[in-house]
Amino acid sequence: MHPVVKLVAQRLVLSTLLLLAASVLIFAGTTILPGDVAQSILGQSATPESLANLREELGMNDPAVTRYFNWLFAALQGDLGTALTNGRDIAESVGQRLSNTLFLAFWAAIISVPLAILLGLVAVRYKDRWPDKLISAVTLASISIPEFLIGYLLMFFLAVQLGWFPSIAMINDDMGLLQKLQSIALPVMVLTLVVLAHMMRMTRAAILNVMQSAYVETAELKGLSGFQVIYRHAFPNAIAPIVNVVMINLAYLVVGVVVIEVVFVYPGMGQYLVDHVSKRDVPVVQACGLIFAAVYIFLNMIADIVSILANPRLRHPK
């Protein structure tokens, strides 16, 4: 078997095992939560007989191991269960919410990834000069401020004071693309500011590490300009760590948007999760946790595979 194929297969197996371990933690974490699900559904006035019947109906009397495997096998078949609060199919509800979250993450990534790489290249080109210091100062300041505070500040100035964008990011299927983009403009700005610093700093550090190589000095001696040396020779050889940090931040854009979605009342997975956590809707919490874990593990696996393919020593072992 070719070494690249073997390494990719190993990453696939490890990712599957990691997702299985994450499912165990998610199920165990929701199981040991204090309180009684049946009591929270029926209320304090429920009779012992009705509580016992509901626990039996929900399978709460079965051993935890049995309930875990029943839940896992059903999830593998696409059955995420039924929400306890409204009786709706979770997979159907999650489908629309997940598409909204991916829509938000997509446009945030479209802006933040190229901008971070470009700023990283500019910072390397003007290392220790005012453009490098200005870019570093602005990005570090943006990451140091809590994301919810950035959201409220942008909401106050751009939505309330100037009226450029709506303060609540509500979208629906009847809206056109431009209407949706205007609606999500503020959360996209916040997400871009949050993830920009990580990617820019890693791009700068990775390229500066490569710039010490002998072939870069040779390219400079050939008379190539600073930017030509960076994007033709240094950047391609620094792609592996850059891809890793980009994928981690893309995973954050999908998994870590809970606070942003709550601040802007965006109808995505984060808002859906928070709404049902407050109602102690355990099946919904389990389904959202499993989906978030799967997305995070999948994107990290893609980063590992791209890093392998970007390494000539692994592509050409001989």
27-72 pLDDT tens trace: 887 777 666 666 566 666 666 776 677 666 666 666 778 778 888 8
Region 114-131: what's the mean pLDDT?
82
Q: Does residue 9 belong to any structural domain of this protein?
A: no
pLDDT at 317 over 60: no
Q: Does residue 25 belong to any structural domain of this protein?
A: no
Boundaries of domain holding 167 = 90-315
- Which CATH number characterizes residue 112's domain? 1.10.3720.10
Q: Does residue 282 belong to any structural domain of this protein?
A: yes
Q: Does residue 59 belong to any structural domain of this protein?
A: no
Q: Does residue 237 belong to any structural domain of this protein?
A: yes
> Looking at per-residue confidence, does 14 or 207 come out higher?
14
Give strand pairing partners of 89.
82
In the chain, the number of structural domains is 1
The residue assigned the tokens 């050409």 is: 316
Q: Does residue 5 belong to any structural domain of this protein?
A: no
Region 294-306: what's the mean pLDDT?
82
Q: Does residue 148 belong to any structural domain of this protein?
A: yes
Query: Residue 302 — pLDDT band, cuts 50, 70, 90?
Result: confident
